[in-house]
Amino acid sequence: MSYRVGQQVRVAERSHDGHHRTPSYIKGKTGRVERAHASFTNPETRGYGRDGLPEKELYLVGFAYDDVWPDHRGGRDRIYADVFEHWLEVTA
């Protein structure tokens, strides 16, 4: 699955046993694709000495503070994180 810049996406709300690079504070949150970086080896397998293939697309996803922490008084402030494609979902 690939995504385009500007598209609204949700970060999967699932747990993962072992090394992964999706911080918990954005799991289940909805944001917007800000950049499509490139594809990189998957840290979830690379972290255990394997080759990390197939490569996964990496996206910079931006979130409004209010959507990440509802009681935050962030105003227009935003939080960005790099998220691999297999952690992203299309929103309805």
Binding site for other proteins (CB under 8 A): 21-23, 25, 35, 37-38, 40, 43, 58, 60, 62, 69, 72, 74-84
- State the burial class of residue 54 (Cβ atoms within 10 Å of its Cβ: 0-12, 13-18, 19+): exposed
Q: How far apart are CB 38 and other proteins at their closest, in Å?
A: 6
Shorter beta-carbon distance to other proteins: residue 14 or 35: 35
Q: How far apart are CB 91 and other proteins at their closest, in Å?
A: 21
- Asked whether 76 and 47 are in contact (CB, 8 A), the reply is no
Residue among 85, 88, 67 nearest 76 (CA): 67
